[in-house]
Amino acid sequence: MAAAESPGTLPARPPGPYYPLTPGDHASAATFERGKPVVGTSYFYWYDNQTRAHIIDHDGSDALTTHPADTQTISYRNVSWHARQLQDMIDAGIDFMMPVYWGVPGDYASWSFAGIPPLVQAHDQLLRAGKHPPQIGLFYDTSILRYNHFRPDGSPYHVDLTTAFGRQWFYTAIRDFFSMVPPAKWARIDGRPIVFLYSASFAKAQDPNQMDTVYKHFRRDFAVTPFLVKHLDWLGTTEATYQWGGAIELRLDEQVAALGPGYDHSAVPGRSPLVVERKDGQTYSRHWQRLLSAHPQRRPWMVHVETWNEWHEGTDIAHSREYGRAYIDLTRRYGDLWRQGAHLTIPGPYQNAQEVRWQPGGAKGITLREPAGDGIWQIRRVEGREAVAAQANAVSPQRYIYFLVNDSFIFDGDMSIEITITYLDAGCSAFQVQYDNADPAAGAVQGAFRGGETVRLTGSGQWRTVTLPLARCRFANRANGADFRLAPLGETLDLVIADIILRK
């Protein structure tokens, strides 16, 4: 191995006793089945009331937006705290939980490692009491691929997954976690242990074959193949894909749905304001209801509740000072409906409508998504009409205007729809409708961005109207939280829209 690839030494053996394993170690292991409804959640265990880590910031300020109900015993070191969380998960109907793991290989004194044995003891304690705590999977917080102190001098190694050393580093963190958890406790799908991978953006570089290293070495060390669930920005083939951000808006992928109660990271230093109000549980209920209204034969079968207790960002559903046990009760209610295969109908004013329309100040069933990310817009008067104009954004050279269709008109459907657009024939050279469709092979992100016909502009400066067919419209809000977007094309990306009509 080239010296340039070796910024340090990886430990030959993991910290836990459950390594290596044989096929016999898995013979009687409980498992969930692929395709059968199941509910899991990510579990943040980095809090410690002794050192005040993740409770009080370095400047002495409150580190939490919402707060645990009990701040006296909260600690990753404390068996009783873990046991209380596991009991609450039982009450909430959680099938599997995933510790959010920051386990830098070799840093075996850190909280990431110190917190797992007490969790295992708490799990045992509940089993001895005749309870059935959730099975334990892994949520691999891939932030450690960039933020770690791995090099001998304490500086970080930015993990490069295009190198043999980087791929081994990536796998070693997974190996270390499972070595600390008895295989009988592993959360599994068809016998395969569940591993969620957070965003790939923290890796220095990645390779389409990087998952092969994980599969190969996990089978060698543990005599079983993992069930990998990758964030959608990872290269390589895995069993399933999910999206982070479900606490903000329901995220639907082919096999995994992500949802949560709202979002507020006001307590986190240095971040721009971002608040999605809980609305006394209405936000969480709306996410669940929309999921339950999705077509039973198309909707995902695994739910990732985001999160159990990320109190910094206010995405928690655990017992809290602010909300008591309300979200535990809601999770039980909706989770039971989910496992029963319930199918809800979304009520609303457009349930029997044949068309919906957007105009500035006169929206009837179509709304503009709030300006954010790559979809920044401005309402202004152009050529005698109020219209929306695409604006430059800070995250992409491309511009988009995003629209949401009222869920009572269509949600998670599969139907042909006709779109009529009134646009200013000036600025960009062309534009395209990109929409959430029911064919996962037609369009990026499993069909969330299917491209419609391209509309060419002539530069006349006049208002023009065009009608286009949109095949197999799904409209499950998978297009970055919207149902469709307009994408200007050409060297100049000015696009101005005055009217949109959708007809079934």
- pLDDT one-digit tens code per residue, 442-454: 999 889 999 999 9
- What is the percent of the chain where pLDDT is above 70? 99
How far apart are the C-alpha atoms of 58 and 121, rounded to whole Å? 31
Average pLDDT across the chain, whole number: 95
Listing from the earlier edge strand, what are the strands of the sheet with 430-435? Answer: 366-368, 401-405, 484-489, 430-435, 450-456
- pLDDT one-digit tens code per residue, 278-318: 999 999 999 999 999 998 988 999 999 999 999 999 999 99
Is the model's pLDDT at 29 over the cut of 60? Answer: yes
Which ranges constitute the DSSP H helices of 67-163?
79-92, 111-114, 116-128
The pLDDT assigned to 4 comes to 52
Is the model's pLDDT at 6 over the cut of 80? Answer: no
Mean pLDDT value across residues 357-366: 95
- pLDDT one-digit tens code per residue, 87-101: 999 999 999 999 999
Is the model's pLDDT at 5 over the cut of 80? Answer: no
CA-to-CA dists, residue 405 to 364, 471, 474, 496, angstroms? 9, 16, 11, 19
How far apart are the C-alpha atoms of 483 and 436, rounded to whole Å? 6
- What are the residues whose beta carbons fall under 8 Å from the beta carbon of 394, sequence distance 6 or more? none
Q: Are strands 192-197 and 227-231 parallel, antiparallel or unpaired?
A: parallel
Beta strands in 293-365 (DSSP E): 302-305, 355-358
DSSP secondary structure code for residue 142 in this structure: G
DSSP secondary structure code for residue 437 in this structure: B
Residue of 172 and 361 predicted with greater confidence: 172
The pLDDT assigned to 1 comes to 38
Structural domains in the chain, sorted by start:
3-16+35-339 (3.20.20.80), 355-503 (2.60.120.260)
How far apart are the C-alpha atoms of 209 and 6, rounded to whole Å? 20
- Tokens of residue 73, six digits: 């015993």
- pLDDT one-digit tens code per residue, 105-140: 999 999 999 999 999 999 999 999 999 999 999 999
Backbone angles phi, psi at 195, to 5 degrees: -130, 115
CA neighbor of 264 nearest in space, from 206, 315, 334: 315
CA 226 to chain centroid: 20
- pLDDT one-digit tens code per residue, 137-166: 999 999 999 999 999 999 999 999 999 999
CA neighbor of 270 nearest in space, from 57, 459, 416, 71: 57
User: How many Cβ atoms sit within 10 Å of the Cβ of residue 453?
Assistant: 12
Is the model's pLDDT at 466 over the cut of 70? Answer: yes
pLDDT band at 72 (very low <50, low <70, confident <90, very high): confident
Classify the C-alpha dihedral 4-169-239-481 as positive or negative.
Answer: negative
Torsion of CA 115, 81, 316, 412, to 10 degrees: 80
- What is the percent of the chain where pLDDT is above 90? 93
